[in-house]
Structure 1
Amino acid sequence: MSQAVNSNEDYCSFTLPSDLSQGGLPGEADICKDLEDSDPAVKRAALKSAIMAMLGGEALPKVLMQVIRFCINTDDHQLKKLMMLYWEVVPKYQPMSAGSKEKPKLLPEMILVCNALMNDLNHPNEYVRGSMLRFLCKVKDSEILGPLTASVKQCLEHRHSYVRKNAALCIFHCYKLFGDNLIPDAPELMERFILAETDICARRNAFLMLFNCAETEAIEFLSQNVDDVMKFGEGFALLVLELTRKVCRRDPAQKSRFVRVLFQMLTSSSASVSYEAAWTLVSLSSAPAAVRAAASTYSSLLSSQNDNNVKMIVLERLEDLRKRHTKVLQEVLMDILRAISSPNPDICQKVLNIGMPLVNGRNVEEVVGLLKREVLKTQDSDMEKGSSYRAMLIKAIHSCASKFPDVAEGVVSTLMSFIGGDGALDVVIFVRAIVEQYPTLRAGVLSTLVNSIADISKSDVMCVVMWILGEYCVDSDSIREAFDEITRNLGDAPYIIAEKKEDGKKGDEPTMVTKNVVLADGTYATQTVMSAPPKSEDVSMTNLRRMVVQGDIFLCGILASTLTKFSLRSKNKGMTVKTLLAMCGFAKMAEVKSSSQKSAATDCHERITLCCRILLDSKTSEMLSAAWLDSGKQTFSSLLVELREKAAASSKEDAAPTVTQCDDLIHIRQLKHQSGAAGDIDLDDGSDLLRATGQGADGEQGFSSGLKNTHQLTGFSDPVYCEASIIVNDYDIKLSMILINRTPDPVSVSVELSTIGDMKLVERPQSRVIAPLDQCVLSASIKISSTETGHIFGTIVHENPMNPSAPKGYINLNDIHLDIMDFIKPATCTDELFRGMWAEFEWENKVAITTSIENLYDFLDHIVSKTNMSCLTPINRTSETHFLAANLYAKSVFKEDALVNVSVEKKSDDGGKLSGYIRIRSKTQGIALSLGDRITSVQRKIDTKEGEQQATGANVQ
């Protein structure tokens, strides 16, 4: 390597504001005068002023000799530190004339400087030596470093570790810049040094030099000291891991040489070393032994680390392992699930997402037992968002019970204790599915539900319980027990609270009460207070009756249907009479509440009227009793089947097929030569199998995906051609622009960019000079804070730097349209959560359906694919219908929810065209409007394509 590589490099100068209160920086003469002063404080102030002036671009040539004469032999440590800064920024070479091609010559004064630097390298104070060695690591001039190499080598044998470790860094710096020209024996020197060194930091610095400049010696030292690597410190271990990745990626056959040290580092006390070792081991191999060891390390990090960010990073690694090595991770599932005790609900959800697909018949009992214990803890826990955590656990238990019937019985008895508190809706929905799927458990579950009616305080939970009892209570004993309990909690009609009015006074209003009280000093006083209205009726009222009296019309309709089913099955006249009286009370209550709930009251009247006809009219009972009693269970059973099929289909889609070449080589372990040390694990087969199955070759896919996001910004005839590639990250956009100078002259180019929408340009592209017919790449960063369609536009300003008088040229760039689909990801949620968000979100966008598609299911598939959403509604595509309603759901990268309801009808009287509306709801206006624009645009594209096809057909005819 040439010695003059960095000799012409000037240190960067910049302008610093001077202190106006002191009249600014002193001049060169004043600085020279102050440097002659005997007071060290005055010298320090003068040297600081000289450094500041030179950083601002001043030469100050006379100051150099003054520093050499009056400061170079000082014993003041602060002044020595300032002198090192001064040596770093002072010009060291003689100025050259413009256009001269000769090598610049070193200033004669620098010989004296080198002598002073050598004195500090031989100073008896170890900290002065170490500081000088650290300073030499910043020097890039070979003529200055050359005379000092002998003293630097001597420092390697110093008694103090501070000097030795900085000497090793200095030798690495010299050898990296100038190769064999300054210290040709540096690798051998470091090899001998590292074998004799005992200090952790010095050994790490020496190994750093071998790692970068003498890789063979570094590997040899590692193989000889493989058992002592963990004693060399954390920094040394991280260097070994970096060396392992570097060597094995270049030569996969070298993997077996690093196996022992990798497995040792997995048990390191340092979290960073164990994490990097696990990541390195998995990245180099997919052998079961390696994956099992890495998974165990990740699970131990989950339980030992308290930082939530660290846990999320480890969970991301475990999720990647689960996608490729499911069977191996099943062995450490319980270790992973221990992290579910974290108080952070996001971590709990992530752990469950990783752990639930790993449940199998061997570990299901342990998993369910852990989940049951966590559910029981939520009864007395004050953890924030405890109800959401309980809902996560119940959902996980439900999935286990659905897959493995043997655990369902023990799970139901535990969860039924929550039916009267928070999370009761999730529990009762789980119970509803269990009652349908496992007939052997119905009797016990129904009896528990009947006994829990008095404890249920939420209307939605009561509705589900009533439906379950009405559908699955079929024998006489269960019907009688359920009917008596419901009527006891419901009470007798009427279900309307009477307002007491006497002489214009309302009995329920609070009254003023005056009474005598005794004050703290023993005196009497008169106190007037407001008394609360009487609540004698509310105290004795059951939860079910209170819901009906308060006007829950929907619950009344379900109660009427449930009591009618009991009467039809039992054929008991007394039960029928009580049912009719209760329904009359429901109808009267609905009439009173109809002013605020007209549509609900109308539906309730129709339902109650139908129930009365079934009970009173024998012909109506014969026609509808079969459908009334059996169709509900059949429909619910088919719904559960469709949900299971949908889950199975989605799991199959996740396992994407891999493609590989038929002639790729595969190394089979049993047929390979048994070479290497005993106990070593051959990890080379893992990468070969990945490559053979096509899982390791994704370079072409990445290149093709990058081409899809490339936009042409200027025309081919413009003097400067520009095209941009967009990389969308989670919260920012990286814009990489390539500019090509198509003229025979150099061009100075600057790009001015602007944005429309909720975007902010945080890094603007820098101005560049492009050589004739050359090209350059500029980059810009744009921050995004919400999901909203935006535009990027701008202008290229170009001019000829060789001709300043020439006018500037301007090129308007094509707009870059950011599609909202780059930020929308398909997601799933429960029907209850969807309905809750639908009622909560205030922004709605209603889009009319205008399409040429004639099939309902094809139109739904088109909307789902173009909006990048998932369909939550199970669709039976075998049935022929003229109406379709479906709910779609997606999440943005900013955790924003997008809800879509598609209601489409096929008009038989209008040629089979589809009509209806697509309603979009979200918490923010931007995502609702952007999704509406997206749906409108994809419908227009359909019509345009159909029009083009028709026009083409007409031309052919």
Structure 2
Amino acid sequence: MEKSSTLLIHFDKVSAAMANEIKEALNANDVEAKIDAMKKAVMLLLNGETLPQLFITIVRYVLPSEDHTVQKLLILYLEIIDKTNARGRVVPEMILICQNLRNNLQHPNEYIHGVTLRFLCRLSEPEILDPLVPSVLSNLEHRHPFVRRHALLAISAIYRLPGQAGEQLIPDAWSLSRRRSPRSRTLLPAATVSSCSLRRAVAYRLSQADHVPDWGELHQMTALDLIRKACRSNPAEKGKYINIIISLLNSPSAAVVYESSGTLVSLSSAPTAIRAAANTYCQLLLSQSDNNVKLIVLDRLNELKSSHREIMVDLVMDVLRALSSPNLDITRKTLDITLELITSRNVDEVVLLLKKEVVKTQSTELEKNGDYRQMLVQAIHSCAIKFPEVASTVVHLLMDFLGDTNVASAVDVVLFVREIIEANPKLRVSIITKLLDTFYQIRAARVISCAVWIIGEYCLSLSEVENGIEVIKQNLGDLPFYSAAEEVETADASKKPQQINSSATMSSKRPVVLADGTYATQSATSETALSAPPVLPGSSGSPGNLRSLILSGDFFVGAVISCTLAKLVLRLVVVHPSKAEANKYRGLADHDLNVTIGTIFISSSPN
């Protein structure tokens, strides 16, 4: 594994006799047997076997084969084996191999040409490459672009050999590019000359600046790579290439556009250049359908936000257009970037767009609606914290989602309401009114607890206190909660079968809340009927949720209701102008409070 290789295959079927089997198959005249044997030989070599006895056999029986598959496997075999002896010199048998490679470079089949040229790119022995250089150069004139392309790559690889070996093998690489036919001259400077002579390649690049936008994608990418190399070697000349890079921002290739934007940012910190790159990233964000591409572009925008925040602030609305993506990771990253770019100048536009997105989640049926709405609520919450003046424009809209089926989203809304009502006294009356009107829609216990606390804390005027008590009573329904019959059924259903007799005896002694708020045994209240849950105004016939939560055993909600009712009753005594009316109202409220507390006590009692 310490050697480099372009091929790696796991092969664990190694046996001592396999090498002899491979040798016998290679000696045969059957082409299919040779192909199978060569595959096994390659896999054994890749897994650490040396197989020195096969080399002569392959030279004698495989090298002359005309089959394309055999020739390809031969190339893979030659790439893997050691081509030098212990003293570092090329083994003599490689002379025969060189002759075969030369024949392949003159073969009438283009595929054999290309495979052989690609193999030469992986060789590092000048002794093997030296006799093959003329044949490689002759392939620059080949009629097929597939061959010419691989000839260019081979020349580039040979010229990059360590030390001076490459320059000695092809000393006139640049002049060769100037003497070649037009169809090869357009390729060689773009793909090879940069490794032959950076100075000359840069000069050629600048001379062709007007034609770069018309080049193909591969050549434009190579040109960008050349520009980056030139700027690293001579940073003072960055300005020469800015116009060329900007011209590539309009390339039809998304890859070229992306690389051009990154190159532009790395070469220049001028506001014009950064703005052009940021605009290009935003266009890619909208034009590309691949989610991975969008996430990569968002990462680049996030980097620009960190280093050039002033410029990115002006593009915040363009970034927000990525919210149209159905992918939650993209929307989450988009909102994270946006929230750090909000200022007093753009907060109104941002909040308006977020409000529209919240409304869309209500009117359309999308899979991401619940989680997406939660993200939007959190984003609006952050905006309202930083800029309290926008709270009034969003708080009433968000309160429509207090009854959201997505509990996390509803919790975020009620926490937002709690914070806004504390921080903005001018909004308290309107928020309380809205909360009392929509209270019947709330379903989640945690949301109800927070909403009830808000009612008890911020209902300050007489009308607000009376409405608050009335709304809670309507949601609780008629009292008492339990009848004697339901108490027996509840007790029986909750006990195990083997405990039925004992539970019936115990339940007969269990106290029950009567209509007057006192307690009695079930035998004394056998004719008391269970009050049905109330049907609330505007609730489409659905019962109040407070009652169902308490009957289901949510004692925390019951405790919050009891505390809130007590708080509202005490406040009513203070704000009511008539003491007699206040005491009368207090008596009725005390009755409801006692029944609620009694129900919680009875429901939570083990007996």
Q: Is the TM-score greater than 0.5?
A: yes
* 1:424/1:461 contact within 8 Å kept: yes
Q: 1:144 aligns with which of 113, 128, 138?
A: 128
Q: 2:412 aligns with which of 417, 423, 426?
A: 426
Specify the code of the residue in structure 1 equivalent to 2:151: A
Where does residue 172 of structure 2 map in the other structure? 185
More strand by share: 1
Where does residue 587 of structure 1 map in the other structure? 594
Higher relative contact order (CA 8 A, sep 6+): 2
* Alignment TM-score, normalising by the size of structure 2: 0.77
Where does residue 243 of structure 1 map in the other structure? 226
CA distance in 1, matches of 2:475, 2:79: 90
Cα gap change, 1:487 to 1:122, in 2 (>3 Å): closer
Q: 2:204 aligns with which of 198, 217, 221?
A: 221
Where does residue 68 of structure 2 map in the other structure? 77
* 2:189/2:201 contact within 8 Å kept: no
Q: Does 1:135 align with 2:119?
A: yes
Q: 1:498 aligns with which of 483, 486, 497?
A: 483
Structure 1 residues 157-182: Cα deviation after superposition (integer angstroms, max 9, x where no partner): 11111121111112112221222221
Cα gap change, 1:50 to 1:298, in 2 (>3 Å): closer
* 1:13/1:54 contact within 8 Å kept: no
Structure 1 residues 316-358: Cα deviation after superposition (integer angstroms, max 9, x where no partner): 3322222232221111111111222333434333222211222
CA distance in 1, matches of 2:246, 2:332: 30
Shift of 1:501: 7.6
Q: Does 1:446 align with 2:429?
A: no
Shift of 1:256: 0.9
Where does residue 53 of structure 2 map in the other structure? 60
Cα gap change, 1:46 to 1:467, in 2 (>3 Å): closer
CA distance in 1, matches of 2:152, 2:564: 83
Structure 1 residues 628-648: Cα deviation after superposition (integer angstroms, max 9, x where no partner): xxxxxxxxxxxxxxxxxxxxx
CA distance in 1, matches of 2:37, 2:486: 96
Specify the code of the residue in structure 2 equivalent to 1:561: K
Where does residue 389 of structure 1 map in the other structure? 372
Where does residue 184 of structure 2 map in the other structure? 197
CA distance in 2, matches of 1:131, 1:17: 28
Specify the code of the residue in structure 2 equivalent to 1:585: D
Q: Does 1:538 align with 2:533?
A: yes
* 2:474/2:534 contact within 8 Å kept: no
Cα gap change, 1:26 to 1:489, in 2 (>3 Å): closer
Cα gap change, 1:289 to 1:193, in 2 (>3 Å): farther
Structure 1 residues 640-696: Cα deviation after superposition (integer angstroms, max 9, x where no partner): xxxxxxxxxxxxxxxxxxxxxxxxxxxxxxxxxxxxxxxxxxxxxxxxxxxxxxxxx
Q: 2:575 aligns with which of 561, 565, 569?
A: 569
**3-state SS, counterpart of residue 415 of structure 2:** helix
Shift of 1:482: 4.5
Mapping of residues 874-885 of structure 1, within 5 Å: none
Shift of 1:506: 8.2
**3-state SS, counterpart of residue 457 of structure 1:** coil
Shift of 1:405: 4.9
Cα gap change, 1:497 to 1:505, in 2 (>3 Å): closer
Q: 2:260 aligns with which of 277, 281, 298?
A: 277
Cα gap change, 1:508 to 1:367, in 2 (>3 Å): farther
Where does residue 613 of structure 1 map in the other structure? none
CA distance in 2, matches of 1:546, 1:578: 25
Q: Does 1:163 align with 2:150?
A: no
* 1:237/1:273 contact within 8 Å kept: yes
Shift of 1:470: 4.4
* 1:194/1:206 contact within 8 Å kept: no
Shift of 1:25: 3.0
**3-state SS, counterpart of residue 212 of structure 1:** helix
CA distance in 2, matches of 1:135, 1:537: 86
Q: Does 1:410 align with 2:393?
A: yes
Shift of 1:315: 2.5
* 2:213/2:248 contact within 8 Å kept: yes
Range 334-343 or range 237-246, more displaced? 237-246
Cα gap change, 1:499 to 1:270, in 2 (>3 Å): farther
Q: Does 1:372 align with 2:367?
A: no
CA distance in 2, matches of 1:82, 1:373: 62
* Alignment TM-score, normalising by the size of structure 1: 0.51
Specify the code of the residue in structure 1 equivalent to 2:52: A
Cα gap change, 1:356 to 1:576, in 2 (>3 Å): farther
Unaligned runs of 5+ in 1: 1-8, 511-533, 599-957
Structure 1 residues 550-585: Cα deviation after superposition (integer angstroms, max 9, x where no partner): 651222111221232233112333243223332343
Structure 1 residues 276-335: Cα deviation after superposition (integer angstroms, max 9, x where no partner): 332332233332222222222222233233444433333333222222322211111111
The count of corresponding residues between Structure 1 and Structure 2 is: 548
CA distance in 1, matches of 2:491, 2:78: 95
Q: 1:209 aligns with which of 164, 183, 192?
A: 192
Structure 1 residues 514-563: Cα deviation after superposition (integer angstroms, max 9, x where no partner): xxxxxxxxxxxxxxxxxxxx987136453345556665122211122123
Cα gap change, 1:501 to 1:347, in 2 (>3 Å): closer
Shift of 1:49: 7.4
* 1:548/1:555 contact within 8 Å kept: no
CA distance in 1, matches of 2:323, 2:428: 31
Cα gap change, 1:597 to 1:295, in 2 (>3 Å): farther
CA distance in 2, matches of 1:487, 1:158: 92
Cα gap change, 1:42 to 1:12, in 2 (>3 Å): closer
* 1:245/1:280 contact within 8 Å kept: yes
* 1:193/1:206 contact within 8 Å kept: no
* 2:120/2:154 contact within 8 Å kept: yes
Shift of 1:403: 4.0
Shift of 1:465: 3.6
Specify the code of the residue in structure 1 equivalent to 2:588: L
Could you tell me the percent identity over the aligned residues? 37
Where does residue 20 of structure 2 map in the other structure? 26
* 2:98/2:131 contact within 8 Å kept: yes
Mapping of residues 269-348 of structure 1, within 5 Å: 269-348=252-331
* 1:31/1:50 contact within 8 Å kept: no
CA distance in 1, matches of 2:291, 2:9: 42
Cα gap change, 1:564 to 1:489, in 2 (>3 Å): farther
Range 248-257 or range 547-556, more displaced? 547-556
* 1:28/1:63 contact within 8 Å kept: no
Specify the code of the residue in structure 1 equivalent to 2:285: L
Shift of 1:595: 6.5
How well do the aligned residues superpose, as a CA RMSD in angstroms?
Answer: 4.1
More helix by share: 2
* 1:311/1:347 contact within 8 Å kept: yes
Shift of 1:43: 5.7
* 2:217/2:256 contact within 8 Å kept: yes
CA distance in 2, matches of 1:467, 1:87: 80
CA distance in 2, matches of 1:548, 1:45: 77
Cα gap change, 1:580 to 1:281, in 2 (>3 Å): farther
**3-state SS, counterpart of residue 291 of structure 1:** helix
